[in-house]
Amino acid sequence: MRTLSSTLLAAQQANSHIPCIKVEVKNKMAGVTRLVWERLYQGTESEYYHGLTLAGDGSLIRVRITPSADGCKLYRQRVANPGSQSDFNTWTYTSQYKLPSNNNGCLRR
C-alpha cells in the first residue's frame, strides 16, 4: 500500500471535492519519437541479401538478390502505398545476374 503525502490527505478529507484529472500521452522517449513497427507482409522470398528505402512520395522501394543456386539475380519492387492491403508479391527482374561476388559465388553473409 502506498502512503499519501500530507497535502493529498488534506485534500482527500476536505469538505469540497472537485475531481480533476489531466492525462498526457506522448509517443516519445527522452524527447525522441518512438516508432511503432507493423508487419505488412510475411514474404515467401528466400532469405538472402535485400534492402529497402522509403521514397519522398511515401512509396516503398525494395531490392533483393537471389542465392547463387538461382544465379544471383537482382530484383526490385516499388509499392506505391505500402499498407496491409498492398501487393508485395510482384517483383521486377532487372536482367542483372552474377552480381559482384567473392569466392566465385554470390556475396557471402
Taking 80 as the threshold, does the pLDDT of residue 83 lie above it? yes
User: What is the per-residue pLDDT across 63-80, written as a single tens digit (0 to 9) for each?
Assistant: 998 888 888 889 999 999
**Which residue reads 510475411 in cell numbers?**
42
Does this model's pTM top 0.85? My answer is no
Separation of alpha carbons 59 and 44, rounded Å: 21
What's phi and psi for 28, nearest 5 deg?
-135, 150
User: What is the per-residue pLDDT across 14-65, written as a single tens digit (0 to 9) for each?
Assistant: 877 666 777 777 788 888 888 888 888 888 888 888 889 999 999 999 999 8
Residues 6+ apart with CB under 8 A from 80: 59
